[in-house]
Amino acid sequence: MLNRLLSGDYPRSKPLAWVLVLILLGLACAPFLFPGVKPLSVAAKVLIFVVLVASFDLLLGYTGIVSFAHTMFFGIGAYGIAIATSRLGPTWTALAAGLGGALLLSLLLSLAVGLFSLRVRAIFFAMITLAVAAAFQTLASQLSDLTGGEDGLSFKLPEILSPSFEPFDEPFLGVVLDGRLITYYLLFALAVLLVLALLRIVNSPFGRVLQAIRENEFRAEAIGYRVVVYRTTSSVLSALFACVAGAMLALWLRYNGPDTSLSFEIMMDCLLIVVIGGMGTVYGSVIGAVLFLIAQSYLQDLLRLGSEAAAALPWLSALLSPDRWLLWLGVLFVLSVYYFPTGVVGRLRAGAVRSRS
């Protein structure tokens, strides 16, 4: 049963397996282990980014395609939910229509980008996708009647997903069971299913061909595989998963705007998470997302404590100022790349191979 769920792609390292189990249990029990608004929001963001980064790694890590248009599909998913519920009301039909329309648009756009751009060399493809993503972000900002422009769209969800929905009068284990908690577990279930689906894809014969194209595109073409078809299919699948991740973001925030889902900073975060976790591994997306988002969310708090503790040394207190959290985040990233050049997953698997030999 486990072999079927994981598609035969086991962690192949005991420390990695334990880390993944702890992450799964931590996310499953996050509302009860870490009560509060901020911890729950961080856990929900981790779930969303796990799906987004894993879908991006299908392009970068498994197929060798560098695309900067990935957040465009992320934004399409978020806008699909936002526009549909704003126009049709807070119903399940509106959610289904918004997600269905977003998936269809993502399919058509990814096909167009793939067919027109994947025949060019890698650097030109990256530049084309960057231009397409920038154009889409500008378009979303200007179509204010549809997208809300720079102000974005706030919307309501079905009652069961609303924070005001409380089916029980008494808390459970100290936590109020409300619509916010139901939404979190909906995101958790979606994230688990989508990660398992991606594991199935990358470990299928299709996924093996993608890895062969990544290693040597000309050799894969020479032995009979139509590289353009496989790369286009990979681009489409990646876009669809990113679209669902965007819909998950909209469900959690109940708001969407250009800076929320189409920002180029999100694209940079995806690249950083892939490098930290390890390219070409779905598990790397999970670990990288957890490490990066926890650091991003709590580094300022840690620096504030350090700055207060070092008040007797003004130079050290200034260096540890919370305002310099981006500097320290960059230092942590450089150190992670230096000590984990193949990512956390690659390092742990290499250590397991050395210990067995």
Say which residues have a Cβ less than 8 Å from residue 181's Cβ, sequence separation at least 6. Answer: 31, 175
pLDDT the model gives residue 78: 93
**Can you tell me the distance from the alpha carbon of 27 to that of 337, in angstroms, rounded to the nearest whole number?**
26
Domain 2-356 classification at class level: mainly alpha
- pLDDT for 38 equals 87
pLDDT reported for residue 145: 84
Closest CA to 194 of 313, 285, 73: 285
Task: Report the distance separating Cα 245 and Cα 258, nearest Å.
Answer: 16
Confirm if 310 and 320 have CB atoms less than 8 A apart: yes
End-to-end CA, the chain = 29
Joined together, the tokens standing for residue 268 give 């940079």
Averaged over successive runs of 10 residues, the pLDDT of the chain (357 residues) comes to 65 85 92 85 94 92 85 93 91 92 93 73 77 87 85 88 77 76 93 93 89 83 83 91 95 90 88 88 91 87 81 78 79 80 82 73
Tell me, what's the pLDDT at 53?
94
- Sequence ranges of the domains in the chain: 2-356
Q: What is the pLDDT of residue 68?
A: 86
Task: Report the pLDDT value the prediction gives residue 60, as an integer from 0 to 100.
Answer: 87
- Crossing angle of helices 227-253/92-117, nearest 10°? 150
The pLDDT value given to residue 63 = 83
Residue 162 confidence (pLDDT):
84
- Please state, in angstroms and rounded to a whole number, the distance separating the CA atoms of residues 299 and 317: 15
